[in-house]
Amino acid sequence: MDREELQGVMAHELAHIRNYDVRYATLVGVLVGMIALVSDYFLRSTFFRMAGSRVRNLVGVLALGAAVALAAVAPISARLVQLAISRRREYLADASAVEITRNPLGLASALEKIDGDPRPVSVTNRATAHLYISNPIKRTSGDGLFDTHPPTRKRVAILRAMAGADVSDDDAEI
């Protein structure tokens, strides 16, 4: 990377610190954990209430069904919300990096170089993917619902639009 690209990357990472993203992610993680705990408590209390009762009425069966559904859906939906928030914070870090450097094209060029490397990072996994500036687990197609970062081409298109550069027709829809 040249000097402008390195400044863009460093400004992006400093923007995460300036925007208190670690604190924000911690709070979101705690909320996700609380949702999982509450749904698990509801499931267990309903199950034990029914097991202790000699009469299994329709209301108890419906409550158990609702508890099982909540226990299955709540953690998944909470995780999707967490990932969506993480992607939004990446856009904010990009914008803050532009504010710091006053050069959106440096970060855009750096993102293209980083994303253009076809080799996956061998020392990473899904648990540490959020620590990278671009998705280190290379895929062949599609924007993943479970990605921690927004698609690089969208980020680059937004950065180029900030610079007033021409944006291709495909990226103009973003």
CA distances from 140 to 17, 64, 117, 120 (A): 32, 42, 13, 11
Q: Which phi and psi (to 5°) does residue 144 adopt?
A: -80, 140
The residue among 108, 117, 99 whose CA lies nearest residue 152 is: 108
102 Rama class: left (phi>0) / alpha (psi -120 to 50) / beta = left
- Identify the DSSP state of 121: P
Q: Which of 13, 99, 112, 173 is catalytic?
A: 13
Contacts of 1 by beta carbon, 8 Å cutoff, 6+ apart: 9, 110, 113
13 is known as an active-site residue: yes
Residues marked active site are found at: 13
